[in-house]
């Protein structure tokens, strides 16, 4: 059998692995590529997925980096079944529609820009209609109930403890009369996460495809998140300012509500400090959580049994309209604002940051992973100025990162989960991680457990033959074109030299023109300094 890595290979996003076995072809996940322009171009190059020839798709969970290309794949001719747990399917309905809406808005914005430059209309990656079409192929599967999409392949969904409905997939594949067991970890949750259960322990596999998002670090101060949140709230409350929390709509927002519920119960959330969930998507997701309370962990179920709703408290408001959202910033006084997107690069959160980032006494609390290239990552990395809606905003608010909310296992938790495997012949493939994190984790796995570890590259194809060495076919050169750094550096040097040569000409200009040139050079200089400080 063969597996081809369509994404989440030496990167975190774009999870999709296409398997071929005994004349069948199917996929695990169908995620969107997120990051810089170069990475996101992969979303448009979906011909290589050969959608019409994918028989079925097994979904680990509803996050966009695992599911965001489903509408595109259906649009391109996929007609098989999409298997996932019932909560995943419900979450997919709202998340894919939201994603399609973002795609449509982006295309509209680009079209306007193009028309101004005499260009043509820009097509969206997919539309809301495409997203609706996906639901026709949904097939619900409960945890721990094996299903057989076709003869010679069974799959069992196990609770991954990552977000509601998230799964680890255990596959049994028979080829040439030999049964192999493959495990796809999906995203492995952090044990002791609020609301949902701990990741299922798996003890055997021949091939394990494991995520490695936190392959090189642990979550610090895991147990203090409730206190850290309480401190941020108390501080901004004293200053009469707001606490802004960029948060993923699904899971993280509900965990935050749970925490705020606990703080309120302990008298640590001021009665006159309103809490706004300002994200229509988060509001819908919270309703889905209520529907699937059966999937909660014992602690959350216990509260419900006592008649205590862990997802609410008196100060809580869900805003619906844009007007309500805008009113949050026009009304002075302390408040907590939970809004999406979680990495602050899209959505309503940008308005709240623009209004509050420059205010001393305000707090911005990060509760999730911030990917490279996002606004969130730049703030967390200590940028002094941030560009929001084409405007530079100074960073004066307290910037706080709370690690205890992560929905991903940290390094030692991944190692512990892996430690349960008893199969001596286990082969590990690290996926879903930045390359440096994967190298660190690979070293650790090798040292502690002695399992062979492979870090597949984008579009690499690997042949798995039970009892034999794996065969790797490297990605074709065009998959990730080599970046010619020598050329880029030389070019930069040349430009600087040309600028120097023009100094005399600049000095001949009038003072106003000279000051204009100086302004532009200083701006370039600032941006270059910011870039250098990030490297
Ligand atoms: Zn995830
Ligand atoms: Zn993921």
Q: What is the 320 CA–ligand 1 centroid distance (Å)? A: 26
Query: How much is the pLDDT for 403?
Result: 82
CA distance 6 to 29: 10
Q: What is the 410 CA–ligand 2 centroid distance (Å)? A: 14
Measured from the alpha carbon of residue 15, the closest ligand is: 2
Q: What is the 96 CA–ligand 1 centroid distance (Å)? A: 14
Query: How much is the pLDDT for 478?
Result: 57
Residue 101 burial (10 A CB sphere; 0-12, 13-18, 19+):
middle
Q: In 3D, which of 432, 278, 284 has the Cα closest to residue 369?
A: 432
Whether 464 shows a pLDDT value over 70: the answer reads yes
Q: What is the 162 CA–ligand 1 centroid distance (Å)? A: 7
Distances (CA, A) of 448 to 74, 188, 313, 415, 419: 43, 20, 46, 9, 9
Instruction: Give the 3-state DSSP-derived string for 122-143, with helices as H, strands as E and coil as C.
Output: CCCCCCHHHHHHHHHHEEECCC
Q: What is the 186 CA–ligand 2 centroid distance (Å)? A: 7
- Average pLDDT of every residue of the chain: 93
Q: Is 321 helix (H, G, I), strand (E, B) or coil?
A: coil
Range 177-188 average pLDDT: 96
Q: In 3D, which of 217, 209, 202 has the Cα closest to residue 455?
A: 209
Measured from the alpha carbon of residue 213, the closest ligand is: 2
CA distance 382 to 399: 9
Q: What is the pLDDT of residues 243-276, one digit of tens each?
A: 999 999 999 999 999 999 999 999 999 999 999 9
Cis peptide before 341, with omega less than 30 degrees from 0?
yes
Measured from the alpha carbon of residue 31, the closest ligand is: 2
Share of the chain above pLDDT 90, in %: 80
Task: List Cβ neighbours of 293 (8 Å cut-off, separation of 6 or more).
Answer: 300, 301, 304
Q: What is the 414 CA–ligand 1 centroid distance (Å)? A: 15
Instruction: Please say whether the beta carbons of 151 and 88 come within 8 A.
Output: no
Q: What is the 171 CA–ligand 2 centroid distance (Å)? A: 19
Helices (H), 309-370: 322-330, 349-356
Give, as one character, the DSSP assignment of residue 333: S
Measured from the alpha carbon of residue 65, the closest ligand is: 2
Q: What is the 277 CA–ligand 2 centroid distance (Å)? A: 23
Output 40 or 199, whichever has higher pLDDT.
199
pLDDT band at 482 (very low <50, low <70, confident <90, very high): confident
Q: What is the pLDDT of residues 116-157, one digit of tens each?
A: 888 888 899 999 999 999 999 999 999 999 999 999 999 999
CA distance 103 to 94: 14
- Residue 164 burial (CB count, 10 A): 23
99, two tokens: 């994603």
pLDDT band at 202 (very low <50, low <70, confident <90, very high): very high
Whether 38 shows a pLDDT value over 90: the answer reads no
Task: List Cβ neighbours of 254 (8 Å cut-off, separation of 6 or more).
Answer: 164, 195, 285, 286, 289, 311
Output the CA torsion sign for 163, 125, 14, 366: negative
Whether 480 shows a pLDDT value over 70: the answer reads no
């Amino acid at each position: 059998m063969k597996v081809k890595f369509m994404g989440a290979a030496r990167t975190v996003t774009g999870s999709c692995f296409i398997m071929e076995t005994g004349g069948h072809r199917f996929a695990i996940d169908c995620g969107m590529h997120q990051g810089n322009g170069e990475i996101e171009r992969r979303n448009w190059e979906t011909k290589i997925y050969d959608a019409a020839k994918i028989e079925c798709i097994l979904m680990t969970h509803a996050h966009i980096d695992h599911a965001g290309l489903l509408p595109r794949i259906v649009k391109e001719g996929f007609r098989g079944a999409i298997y996932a747990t019932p909560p995943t399917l419900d979450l997919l309905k709202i998340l894919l529609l939201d994603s399609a809406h973002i795609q449509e808005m982006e295309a509209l914005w680009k079209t306007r820009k193009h028309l101004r430059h005499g260009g043509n209309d820009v097509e969206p990656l997919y539309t809301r209609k495409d997203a609706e079409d996906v639901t026709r192929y949904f097939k619900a599967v409960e945890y721990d109930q094996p299903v057989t999409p076709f003869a010679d392949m069974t799959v069992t969904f196990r609770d991954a403890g990552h977000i509601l409905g998230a799964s680890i997939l255990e596959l049994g594949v028979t080829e040439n009369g030999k049964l192999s067991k493959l495990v796809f970890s999906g995203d492995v949750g952090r044990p002791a996460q609020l609301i949902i259960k701990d990741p299922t322990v798996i003890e055997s596999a021949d091939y394990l495809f494991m995520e490695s998002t936190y392959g090189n670090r642990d979550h610090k101060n895991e147990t203090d998140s409730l206190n850290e949140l309480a401190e941020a709230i108390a501080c901004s409350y004293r200053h009469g300012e707001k606490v802004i929390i960029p948060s993923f709509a699904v899971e993280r927002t509900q965990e935050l509500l749970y925490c705020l519920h606990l703080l309120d119960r302990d008298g640590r959330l001021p009665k006159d400090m309103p809490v706004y969930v300002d994200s229509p998507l988060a509001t819908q997701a919270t309703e889905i959580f209520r529907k699937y309370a059966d999937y909660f962990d014992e602690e959350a179920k216990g509260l419900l049994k006592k008649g205590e709703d862990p997802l609410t408290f008196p100060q809580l408001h869900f805003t619906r309209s844009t007007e309500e959202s805008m009113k949050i910033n026009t009304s002075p006084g302390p408040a907590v604002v939970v809004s999406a997107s979680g990495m602050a690069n899209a959505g309503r959160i940008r308005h709240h940051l623009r209004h509050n980032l420059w205010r001393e006494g305000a707090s911005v609390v990060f509760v999730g992973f911030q990917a490279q290239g996002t606004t969130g990552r730049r703030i967390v990395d200590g940028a002094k100025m941030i560009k929001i809606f084409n405007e530079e905003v100074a960073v004066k608010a307290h910037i706080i990162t709370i690690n205890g909310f992560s929905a991903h296992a940290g390094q030692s938790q991944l190692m512990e989960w892996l430690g349960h495997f008893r199969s001596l012949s286990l082969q590990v493939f690290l996926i879903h991680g930045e390359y440096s994190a994967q190298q660190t984790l690979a070293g650790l796995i090798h040292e502690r457990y002695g399992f062979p570890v492979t870090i597949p590259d984008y579009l690499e194809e690997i042949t798995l033959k039970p009892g034999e060495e794996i065969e790797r076919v490297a990605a074709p050169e065009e998959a990730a074109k080599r970046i010619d750094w020598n050329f880029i550096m030389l070019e930069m040097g040349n430009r600087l030299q040309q600028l120097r040569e023009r100094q005399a000409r600049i000095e001949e200009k009038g003072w106003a023109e000279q000051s204009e040139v100086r302004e532009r050079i200083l701006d370039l200089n600032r941006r270059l300094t910011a870039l250098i400080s990030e490297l």
